[in-house]
């Protein structure tokens, strides 16, 4: 097997191929934009084709559910949970239902250097670190293998991640007999920003402020939860000061410039209402138009119930939520990623050429 994909638009970086290879012939290597891609060690590869057979990008149907999901508006009953969540606290309620049954949670977290990676949580304190959005593609590492080990040990598992990561996990599990204990929750994903640009941005903040980053937070609710504020409020502190500072330049690169997302996002196979998961969560954009009494400046979630397993888990977590079933058209109208992939700007190649020639400070300075 010389290569697992023909062009970069055909690889989402989910790492299912890496995880399924029995001969450890595949490694995930970063390209010049910082995105991980599988690389094959020809001396180890036996051409079994298992890696390509399970790929969620090329697999027929992409592991998505066939049934139309049911849509719910949801808000956690705890104001504290709402304040600590990106939107309406749906993830906390769903994961608490798993933790109450001695289950395990897998989700995106930071390591000590604020690199984004998937981690394992057995307690609410560990889980709480996964609440806030992290606008960077996470490194999956050996997450899929760890999940399989937990399932084999009889544990219930909740996995949360992007739609392509969710589909990659389904491919890796391949309808295993113990997969009935696995619950998958995906996000309505805008697109996946570059880990390399995130690293350069962190380094810039540290140079400008003369210290190491001590805390970071995307999508602070200091200005209230709303669509208009969703690309604001990146807060950070430096180790030499307790002062909370705000900076919006990474948001501008992501949302305004639009050149730092993974190539496959422009041809995403998961931007429709049929999901490769049991539950889908996101912000309930537009709820103030359709049902103003539901709006809350601390956040409101939409939950898509995609499968019978998802419906059973949703019933278990509703004790912590205020919910109401809503028409699918509301979310379909407001959530563009339920209809079509993100589109790259025509200047994307210019951005990366400028970055290679002149460096990060140059491209971020061009934003004005």
| Backbone Cα Rg of the chain | 20
pLDDT of 327 reads: 98
Q: Assess whether 18 and 86 both reside in one domain.
A: no
Q: What is the DSSP letter of 178?
A: T
Query: Residue 254 gets which letter from DSSP?
Result: I
Percent of the chain with pLDDT over 90: 90
Which helix or strand (DSSP H or E) is residue 360 part of? helix 360-365
Q: Which two tokens stand for residue 46?
A: 């036996």
Q: Does 62 reside within a domain?
A: no
Higher pLDDT residue, 178 or 20?
20
Q: Which of 211, 234, 62, 66 is closest to 135 using CA atoms? A: 234
Answer whether residue 86 is part of any domain.
yes
The span from the CA of 19 to the CA of 26, in Å, is: 8
Question: Going along 198-338, which residue ranges are E strands?
Answer: 213-217, 235-238, 245-246, 279-283, 301-305, 321-326
Q: What would you measure as the largest C-alpha separation in the chain, in angstroms? A: 62
217: pLDDT strictly greater than 80:
yes
The verdict on 44 and 74 lying in the same domain is no
Chain segment 50-80, per-residue pLDDT in tens? 999 999 999 999 999 999 999 999 999 999 9
* Token pair in block for residue 306: 């995609």
Question: pLDDT at position 162, please?
Answer: 97
Decide if pLDDT at 10 tops 80. yes
Does the structure show a pLDDT above 90 at 319? yes
Of the CA atoms within 13 Å of residue 11, those in its CB half-sphere come to 22
One domain for residues 19 and 84: no
Separation of alpha carbons 217 and 254, rounded Å: 16
Residue 1 has pLDDT above 80, yes or no: no
Given a contact cutoff of 8 angstroms between Cβ atoms, the answer to whether 17 and 26 are in contact is: yes
SS3 344: coil
pLDDT at position 231 is 79
Q: Based on the fold, state whether residues 131 and 227 are members of the same structural domain.
A: yes
Domain match, 41 and 174 both:
no
Q: Are residues 130 and 256 in the same domain?
A: yes
Per-residue pLDDT, averaged over 302-321, amounts to 97
Q: Are residues 13 and 154 in the same domain?
A: no
Mean pLDDT of 213-222: 93
DSSP H helices in 275-339: 287-290, 308-317, 328-334
Given a contact cutoff of 8 angstroms between Cβ atoms, the answer to whether 68 and 49 are in contact is: no
pLDDT reading at 368 higher than 70:
no
DSSP tag of 305: E
pLDDT grade for 128, boundaries at 50, 70 and 90: very high
For the cut 80, the answer to whether the pLDDT of residue 195 exceeds it is yes
| pLDDT of the residue at 256 | 85
Is the model more confident about 231 or about 218? 218
Domain co-membership, 40 together with 78: no
pLDDT at res. 242: 85
**Pick from 340, 335, 325: nearest CA to 72:** 325
Distance CA 260, CA 343 (A): 12
Parent domain of 272 = 68-368
Total tally of structural domains belonging to the chain: 2
Considering the domain architecture, whether residues 43 and 106 belong to the same structural domain is answered as no
The answer to whether position 63 is within a domain reads: no
C-alpha neighbours within 13 Å on the C-beta side of residue 62: 20
Take residue 54 and report the two structure tokens written for it: 């399970």
Summarize pLDDT for 78-112 with one digit per residue, the tens. 999 999 999 999 999 999 999 999 999 999 999 99
Same structural domain, 25 and 152: no
Q: Residue 335 pLDDT more than 80?
A: yes
Distance between start and end Cα atoms, the chain: 46
Q: Two tokens at 26?
A: 């595949």
d(CA 275, CA 271): 9
Residue 2 falls inside a structural domain: no
For residue 367, the model assigns a pLDDT of: 81
Q: Answer yes or no: do 24 and 114 share one domain.
A: no
pLDDT at residue 94, rounded to an integer: 98
What is the distance, to the nearest Å, from the Cα of residue 216 to the centroid of all Cα atoms in its chain?
Answer: 17
Q: Are residues 193 and 292 in the same domain?
A: yes
Binned at pLDDT 50, 70 and 90, residue 240 comes out as confident
- The CATH number of whichever domain residue 30 belongs to comes to 3.30.70.20
Q: Which long-range contacts (CB under 8 A, 24 or more apart) does 196-201 make?
A: 196/30, 196/33, 196/34, 196/35, 197/34, 197/250, 197/253, 197/260, 197/360, 198/34, 198/116, 198/135, 198/136, 198/250, 199/34, 199/115, 200/360, 201/249, 201/250, 201/253, 201/360, 201/364
> Would 33 be classed as within a structural domain?
yes
Residue 151 to residue 180: CA distance in whole angstroms: 9
């Amino acid at each position: 097997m010389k290569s697992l994909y023909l062009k970069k638009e055909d690889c989402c970086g989910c790492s299912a191929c890496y995880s399924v290879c029995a001969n450890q012939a595949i490694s995930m290597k970063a390209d010049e934009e910082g995105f991980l891609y599988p690389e094959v060690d020809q001396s180890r590869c036996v051409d079994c084709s298992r890696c390509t057979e399970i790929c969620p990008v090329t697999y027929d149907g992409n592991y998505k559910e066939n049934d139309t999901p049911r849509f719910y508006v949801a808000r956690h009953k705890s104001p504290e949970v709402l304040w600590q969540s990106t939107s309406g606290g749906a993830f906390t309620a769903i994961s608490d239902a798993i933790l109450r049954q001695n289950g395990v949670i897998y989700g995106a977290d930071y390591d000590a250097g604020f690199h984004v990676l998937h981690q394992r949580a057995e307690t609410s304190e560990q889980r709480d670190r996964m609440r806030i959005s992290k606008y960077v593609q996470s490194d999956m590492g050996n997450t899929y293998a760890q999940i399989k080990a937990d399932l084999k040990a009889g544990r219930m598992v909740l996995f949360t991640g992007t739609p392509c990561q969710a589909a990659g996990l389904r491919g890796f599990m391949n309808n295993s007999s113990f997969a009935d204990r696995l619950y998958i929750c995906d996000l309505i994903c805008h697109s996946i920003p570059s880990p390399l640009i995130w690293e350069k941005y962190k380094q810039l903040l540290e140079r400008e402020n003369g210290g190491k980053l001590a805390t970071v937070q995307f999508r602070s609710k200091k200005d209230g939860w709303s669509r208009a504020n969703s690309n604001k409020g990146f807060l950070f502190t430096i180790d030499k000061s307790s002062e909370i500072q705000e900076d919006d330049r990474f948001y501008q690169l992501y949302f305004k410039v639009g050149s730092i997302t993974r190539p496959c996002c422009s041809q995403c196979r998961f931007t429709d209402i049929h999901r490769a998961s049991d539950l889908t969560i996101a912000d309930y954009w537009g709820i103030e138009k359709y049902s103003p009494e539901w709006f809350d400046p601390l956040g409101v979630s939409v939950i898509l119930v995609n499968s019978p397993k998802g419906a059973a888990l949703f019933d278990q977590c509703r004790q912590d939520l205020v919910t109401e079933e809503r028409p699918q058209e509301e979310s379909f109208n407001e959530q563009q990623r339920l209809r079509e992939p993100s589109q790259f700007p025509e200047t994307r190649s210019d951005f990366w050429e400028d970055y290679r020639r002149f460096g990060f400070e140059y491209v971020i300075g061009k934003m004005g």
